[in-house]
Amino acid sequence: MKASQLFFPTLREVPSEAEIISHQLLLRAGFMRKTSAGVYTYLPMALRVLKKIENIVREEMDKAGGQEILMPIIQPQEIWEKSGRWSLYGNEMFRLKDRHDRGFALGPTHEEIITTLVDGEVHSYRDLPLLLYQIQNKYRDEIRPRFGLMRGREFIMKDLYSFDLDEAGLDVSYKKMYKAYKAIYDRLGLDYRVVEADSGAIGGNESHEFMVLAESGESVIVYCQKCDYAANVEKAECGLEKQEPPVNNQQEMIKISTPGQRTIQDLVDFTGRPASEQIKTLMYVADGELVAVILRGDRELNEIKLKNVLQCQDLFMADEMTVREKCQAGFGSLGPVGLNVPIYADLETERLQNFTCGANEDDYHFTNVNLGRDFVPEIIADLRNAEAGDICPVCGEPLYTIRGIEVGHIFKLGTKYSDALDATYRDQNGQDQAIVMGCYGIGISRTLAAAVEQKNDADGIIWPLAIAPYQVIIIPVNNKKDDQVEAANYLYKELLNQGVEVILDDRDERAGVKFKDADLIGIPLRITIGPKSLQENKAEVKKRWDEEILLVEMDHVVQHVL
Ligand code: ATP
Ligand code: MG
Ligand code: MG
Ligand code: MG
């Protein structure tokens, strides 16, 4: 492509609305333009990157046995009512009506559509397992659309859904996807971590997030340097917007009667761990049982980590709800609690993160929970501070924190949607069984932004080779000199013949402008044809991330690039 023909309207100024670097650079480098809040037009350069990301994702999904389909964006209200999510999804869902006053949503996700599809077409155990995916626009009316493509209201997602005979089958599908996701992020050339996550509103009991590491990331990850352990500590949203809990559940909550009071010091004696000065925590204990943990103070600084809780149901005496259901109903840190302090628990069967214990009046009780037997509390003075000395639940080493961008998320759904939407198969004994499901998302457009957020310097973007819009840019220093233009054209044609994606900067600009633009748009390899080197029949070859300039014989340049 000749730069004179290429539509990449660059900006000299940093756009004022762009807070983070990827947003600024993608606007400045002419990759995209805003249409309305959280909605963007992708210009040619961005579209090339998106296609490359999509293709890597597509190849790995196909390799893992996935089959690509394309589902509609417009989804009927009816199926969302069947799954119970029409009311649960809240304001994040874009809703519309047709001329007959029938309700529709712009799909924020596609479980309802695909489960209905599979229900209609899969009848026998012989039809399973089935892995179906699409790469499609998604619509979420985010409360705070921001950071450009990072949190859009219209964005591109790859979503795969697995359908299996049973839990064992789901396990196999889940592992396949886990592996495929790692292959994808390895190929993309990004630093990332896989973290244990809470599956929030979507349900199920196993979930991992794929996090591209970046300072501006909205997620805080605690990780261990010794073993693989990593977890997301920001689970407050439970995947849903904040909601008030249903009144009847609130009434069933039992007020604390202060059966016995122990301070954090007692707890520390019990576990043999040093107390944090900052934590003012009251433990309520009755008959040797811990019935409540009350945390007081700065919500950001004071957090307590519970691990090895055997049964999450044991945490409540209020009613029959599970922790997850409560979380979804708006308890936990979203509840009516005055003091929102998250408690993290690593559960055997379910993973609870961010359940909140509150101040005096509205305290939630833990019952039938035995300190020591059921969990070992650990004090985390400040999760943002690596020196805080939180301990890895796997190997006991200190945990550190780091920030990341959630680019992928995989969940085991179980039978949540197949039960609600009646998706069954007939087993070998002629019995109807619920199909066991999983779902697996990758934010394609967010991954593009995350790559820029991670790979940049003061001069602009540094694209990893695998997803660069073009791999090479050729710059003749002076466009008025025939020998330079000739040499540049020669290399341009040779590289094109070899299938290299190359830009020839044939614009009538000063060399400095061309170099600045090449750096800004982040092309991995720059070939400069200047008067001095050309005299020796050489070209200057420079990698975007390197200072070093190599002088390469004109006849060897193509070989060098390949
Ligand atoms: P977040 O926690 O950032 O709101 P999510 O957990 O709601 O994301 P999922 O429902 O897990 O998102 O969707 C799968 C993937 O889709 C996410 O991992 C992310 O990469 C991408 N994604 C979700 N919301 C957005 C958005 N508003 N803009 C761009 N990408 C998004
Ligand atoms: Mg999330
Ligand atoms: Mg979200
Ligand atoms: Mg998610």
Query: Quick count: other Cβ atoms within 10 Å of Cβ 548?
Result: 7
441 lines ligand 1 (CB under 6 A): yes
Tens digit of each residue's pLDDT (9 = 90 or more) over 107-147: 999 999 999 999 999 999 999 999 999 999 999 999 889 89
User: Best substitution site from 26, 57, 237, 409 to test ligand 1's pocket, by max atoms within 8 Å of Cβ?
Assistant: 409
Which residue owns the Cα nearest ligand 1 atom 24? Answer: 151
Question: What pLDDT is stored for residue 246 in this prediction?
Answer: 28
Q: Is the pLDDT of residue 148 over 80?
A: yes
- Greater confidence (220 vs 277) lies with 220
408 lines ligand 1 (CB under 6 A): yes
**Which range, of 19-23, 263-267, 291-295, 504-508, averages the lowest pLDDT?**
263-267
Q: What separation in Å is there between the alpha carbon of 8 and the centre of ligand 4?
A: 32
The atom of ligand 1 lying closest to the CA of 407 is: 20
Each residue of 35-51: b (16+ CB within 10 Å) or e?
A: eeebebebbebbebbbe
Q: What separation in Å is there between the alpha carbon of 193 and the centre of ligand 4?
A: 14
- The predicted model gives 353-362 an average pLDDT of 33
Residue ranges of alpha helices (H) inside 355-481 are 416-420, 444-454
Q: Is the pLDDT of residue 508 over 60?
A: yes
User: What is the spatial distance between Cα 395 and Cα 233, in angstroms, rounded to a whole number?
Assistant: 18
Going 271 to 273 to 274 to 277, the CA torsion angle's sign is negative
Q: Is the pLDDT of residue 209 over 70?
A: yes
The type of residue at 305 is K
Question: What pLDDT is stored for residue 365 in this prediction?
Answer: 36
Q: Is the pLDDT of residue 250 over 50?
A: no
User: Best substitution site from 151, 160, 185, 193 to test ligand 1's pocket, by max atoms within 8 Å of Cβ?
Assistant: 151
Which residue owns the Cα nearest ligand 1 atom 11? Answer: 409
pLDDT band of 311, cuts 50, 70, 90? very low
pLDDT band of 262, cuts 50, 70, 90? very low
Output the six-digit token pair for 484. 């330079």
Which residue owns the Cα nearest ligand 1 atom 22? Answer: 443
Residue with tokens 């103070």, as numbered in its chain:
297
Helix (H, G, I), strand (E, B) or coil at 242: coil
Mean pLDDT of the chain: 76
Q: Is the pLDDT of residue 362 over 70?
A: no
Question: What pLDDT is stored for residue 26 in this prediction?
Answer: 98
The atom of ligand 1 lying closest to the CA of 152 is: 28
Q: What is the largest CA-CA distance in the chain?
A: 92
Residue with tokens 């050729």, as numbered in its chain:
474
- Could you tell me which residues come within 8 angstroms of residue 150 by beta carbon, excluding any fewer than 6 positions away? 20, 22, 23, 405, 446, 449, 450, 453
Question: What pLDDT is stored for residue 247 in this prediction?
Answer: 29
Residue 400's region, left for phi above 0, alpha for psi from -120 to 50, else beta, is beta
- Greater confidence (520 vs 246) lies with 520
Question: What pLDDT is stored for residue 12 in this prediction?
Answer: 87
Which residue owns the Cα nearest ligand 1 atom 25? Answer: 151
Angle at 431 between CA 425 and CA 437, to 5 degrees: 35
Tens digit of each residue's pLDDT (9 = 90 or more) over 392-426: 666 667 677 788 999 999 999 999 999 999 999 99
**Which range, of 8-12, 77-81, 215-219, averages the lowest pLDDT?**
215-219
Query: Quick count: other Cβ atoms within 10 Å of Cβ 327?
Result: 28
- The predicted model gives 191-220 an average pLDDT of 79
- Greater confidence (315 vs 490) lies with 490
- Greater confidence (313 vs 291) lies with 291
Percent of the chain with pLDDT over 90: 60
- The predicted model gives 219-235 an average pLDDT of 73
* DSSP structure class, residue 146: B
Question: What pLDDT is stored for residue 219 in this prediction?
Answer: 84
268 CA to centre of own chain: 36
Q: Is the pLDDT of residue 273 over 60?
A: no
25 lines ligand 1 (CB under 6 A): no
State the DSSP string of 112-124. Answer: HHHHHHHHHH--B
**Which ligand has its closest atom nearest to the C-alpha of 446?**
1
Which residue owns the Cα nearest ligand 1 atom 19? Answer: 443
- Could you tell me which residues come within 8 angstroms of residue 251 by beta carbon, excluding any fewer than 6 positions away? none
Query: Quick count: other Cβ atoms within 10 Å of Cβ 387?
Result: 9
Beta bridge partners of 443: 157
Going 451 to 454 to 455 to 458, the CA torsion angle's sign is positive
Q: What separation in Å is there between the alpha carbon of 22 and the centre of ligand 1?
A: 17
pTM: 0.76
148 lines ligand 1 (CB under 6 A): no
- Greater confidence (532 vs 390) lies with 532
Q: What separation in Å is there between the alpha carbon of 239 and the centre of ligand 2?
A: 6
User: Ligand 4 (ion): which residues have CB within 5 A?
Assistant: 409
- The predicted model gives 23-39 an average pLDDT of 97
CA proximity to 271, closest of 306, 322, 235 = 306
Residue ranges of alpha helices (H) inside 194-254 are 247-252
Each residue of 55-76: b (16+ CB within 10 Å) or e?
A: ebbbebbeebbbeeeebebebb
pLDDT band of 218, cuts 50, 70, 90? confident
Question: What pLDDT is stored for residue 268 in this prediction?
Answer: 30
Which residue owns the Cα nearest ligand 1 atom 23? Answer: 443
Q: Is residue 480 a contact partner of residue 488, using CB atoms and an 8 Å limit?
A: no
Each residue of 335-361: b (16+ CB within 10 Å) or e?
A: bebebbbbbbbbbeebbbbbbbbbeee
CA proximity to 450, closest of 441, 459, 442 = 442
- Greater confidence (428 vs 268) lies with 428
**Which range, of 176-185, 309-318, 552-561, averages the lowest pLDDT?**
309-318
**Which ligand has its closest atom nearest to the C-alpha of 144?**
1
Q: Is residue 240 a contact partner of residue 328, using CB atoms and an 8 Å limit?
A: yes
- Greater confidence (198 vs 63) lies with 63
User: Ligand 2 (ion): which residues have CB within 5 A?
Assistant: 406
Tens digit of each residue's pLDDT (9 = 90 or more) over 463-492: 999 999 999 999 999 999 999 999 999 999
**Which ligand has its closest atom nearest to the C-alpha of 443?**
1
